[in-house]
Amino acid sequence: MEIVVLALVAYLLGSIPSALWVGKLGYNKDIREHGSGNLGATNAFRVLGIKAGIIVTLSDILKGTLATVLPLLFDVSVHPLIIGLFAVVGHTYPVFARFKGGKAVATSGGIILGSFPILFVIMISTFLLTLYLSKYVSLSSMITGVVSILLSLFYQDLVLIIVISCLTAFVIYRHKDNLKRIKNGTEPKIKWM
């Protein structure tokens, strides 16, 4: 029963639509009506600017991290990443935003931060380096996922390996349209890095 309650709390944490709230409260904009229409950090950067994008990114990471530490806070015997996954589901299909959310990259990173902070730092470094070289957020997200799978093997934690593999597959699936646009040369590149 405790695990079910934590999973529900994690889902509700993940469902907090950071990009929507920052857009409406700070900029009087419904981010779903601009850019890609996604409730994620990339669209926040694109539509609202760097300051808002950073706030949304940090908020989305924090949602995942808070969800992951719930089992530790309440001394519940379950792998923290299992609970963290419910925050990722909440971010992608948020109850507070008609079940249409973001692509789960930042929140996925947040659940890794909550359990494996050193791995998270390497992931962020990989993402930023790839972003600097390619200027594609979507490509950087996918490459970071693949690199993370390889890195997870060194931890010898089966749950970590499975979770990162599943998250990477999900992130790639959620970016399938971006892959087509990259191939066609129509995917927007960032201009601030």
pLDDT digits over 169-181, tens only?
999 999 999 999 9
pTM of the shown model: 0.93
Average confidence (pLDDT) over 59-78 = 96
Mean pLDDT of all residues in the chain?
Answer: 94
pLDDT, tens digit, for every residue of 23-39? 999 999 999 999 888 89
Distance of alpha carbon 108 from alpha carbon 103, whole angstroms: 9
pLDDT at 192: 75
What pLDDT, on a 0 to 100 scale, did the predictor assign at position 147? Answer: 97
pLDDT at 175: 92
Give 190's pLDDT tier (boundaries 50, 70, 90). Answer: confident
Read off the pLDDT band of 188 (50, 70, 90). Answer: confident
Look at residue 19 in the predicted model and tell me its pLDDT: 95
With a pLDDT cut of 90, the percent of the chain lying above it is 91
List the structure tokens of 41.
């950090």
Domain ranges for the chain, please list them.
2-184
Task: Return contacts of 35-39, CB within 8 angstroms, 24+ apart.
Answer: 38/101, 38/102, 38/103, 39/94, 39/97, 39/100, 39/101, 39/102
